[in-house]
Amino acid sequence: MSSTVQERKDFESTNTMKAVMGKYFTELCHGPAQGKKTAWCTSVGPAELLRALGFNVYFPENHGAMLGASRMATDLIPLANARGFSPDICSYLTSDIGSYLKGESPIQKMKLPGPPKADVLVFNTNQCRDVKDWFQFYAREWNVPCIGIHTPRAIGEVDEAMVNYVAGQIEALVEPLEHVAGTKLDRDRLSEVIGLSRQCTVLWKEVLETAAHVPSPITFFDGTIQMGPAVVLRGTQEAIDYYRLLLAELKERIAQGVAAVPGERFRIYWEGMPIWGKLKSLSTQFAELATCVVASTYCNSWIFEDLDPADPFRSMARAYSSIFICRSDDRKEAYIEEMSAKYRVDGILYHDAKTCPNNSNCRYELPQRIHKKTGKPFLILHGDLNDLRLFSEEQSRTNIEAFIEQLAQG
Ligand code: SF4
């Protein structure tokens, strides 16, 4: 079948993205030598506050994804296991700590020294407890502060009491962060960064929404690569400029009828974490099956429309407490239903990532409930974000083929 599949076209914008990301990593790694203080930040932590204080901002989860995508993770995880971190916990955490213990990082392939040491580590437990445990390891290693926000989990409505509770915690970070940064927070600069972050979010959302078009000009697999600037450069003009360029290319594709998966027959929603070391083979298999994975919860997790430059702390609290991962199952169900309708999907794929129960949403009957309401077939794929020992390629290929066959039979 593969011999008849038309070649998928890369985005022309991707070269610009590589340059933007390369510049980010170069500045990040050289920052400390130029006297910049480095703050490590969880992916949905208060990055705007750190940027406004002039920190070099580094996101270890992005490094975790790079360890997965480069397939370095599987060999590094056992080093963290030997140190006392269970093979059952977050494989971003174990592969990143393994990378530190071995002194090997994919960043070195860019001829850079590797992740910069932290002067302060700032977490938000909105996604899981693992991020705090992960950051505390480095805080002990380097004897630096580890501070953060404890966001409640399984949130139903993000009400005023919740926003005030979380906003108070973010505001309480200002003083200790000023102490590390050696400077006072400029509130106007914070509002400016929040404005830039919001613009980035709006553009990233527009990029993802082009996939509602039939045929879709972009796949989930493209999205996992294209999201880089939204993750590590939100709050900067570079990210905004990049998404304007990418959006223009996507609109052009739509105008010319260019499909991301030539001959698109089926459209799928991906729920859960990517399988970083298998993006290419999965993308190829879906293309061979003329199936486009059009949307995902994961790529949509970096949309923070609630950010408001006029109300920095409360709007950060609202935006960061509204993300899918920290919501109740009722909210998650409603969200997936809404997304499946918006993107006109034929079926839903749930990735049950062994080491990330926090972002595996198929363990408490949610797929069955959504199926009952929407009638959309679903598939549960067992694997992991980074630990490829937990993923059976053969089994998954067979299951995906059978699933698409089921869709074909309508
Ligand atoms: S959400 Fe999952 S993958 Fe992300 S840091 Fe937490 S446990 Fe790891």
Domain count, the chain: 2
All residue ranges of the chain with pLDDT < 70 are 1-8
CA nearest to 155, candidates 308, 12, 321: 321
Residue 237 falls inside a structural domain: yes
pLDDT of residue 4: 44
- The gap from C-alpha 19 to its chain's centroid, in whole angstroms, comes to 20
The tens digit of pLDDT for each residue in 252-266 reads: 999 999 999 999 999
Find the CATH number of the domain harbouring 119: 3.40.50.11890
Q: SS3 for 309? A: coil
Residue 356 and residue 391 in one domain: yes
Asked if residue 301 and residue 266 are part of one domain, the reply reads yes
Is there a single domain that holds both residue 156 and residue 211? no
Bridge partners for 382 per DSSP: 352
Amino acid making up residue 165: Y
| Same domain as 194, residue 164 | no
The answer for 257, left when phi > 0, alpha when psi is -120 to 50, beta otherwise, is left
Which stretches of 31-147 are DSSP H helices?
47-52, 60-69, 73-83, 91-102, 130-142
Give me the pLDDT at residue 9, please: 74
* Cα distance from N-terminal residue to C-terminal residue, the chain: 21
| Same domain (yes/no): 179, 240 | no
Pocket test for ligand 1, best of 92, 93, 134 (most atoms within 8 A of CB): 92
Where does a domain end: 183, 199, 227? 183
The answer for residues whose C-beta is within 8 angstroms of residue 33's C-beta and 6 or more apart is none
Is the full-model pTM beyond 0.95? yes
What is the distance in A from the centroid of ligand 1 to the CA of 288? 31
Atom of ligand 1 nearest to the CA of 61: 5
Nearest CA to ligand 1 atom 5: 131
In a shared domain, residues 301 and 173: no
- Asked if 266 and 407 touch (Cβ cutoff 8 Å), the reply is yes
How far apart CA 157 and CA 42 sit, in angstroms, is 23
pLDDT of residue 8: 66
CATH number at residue 370: 3.40.50.11900
How far, in Å, from the CA of 358 to the mean position of ligand 1?
Answer: 7
List ligand 1's pocket residues with C-beta within 6 A.
61, 90, 92, 127-128, 130-131, 273, 356, 358-359, 385
Shared domain for 227 and 337, answered yes or no, is yes
Domain membership of residue 202 as a residue range: 190-408
Indicate if 167 and 201 belong to the same structural domain: no
Same domain, residue pair 232 and 323: yes
64-86 pLDDT, tens per residue? 999 999 999 999 999 999 999 99
Domain-located, residue 12: no
How far apart, in whole angstroms, are the C-alpha atoms of residue 178 and residue 11? Answer: 41
Residues 342 and 243 in one domain: yes
Domain boundary among 168, 183, 198: 183
- Residue 65 falls within a domain, yes or no? yes
Q: Which of 159, 183, 207 is where one domain is finished?
A: 183
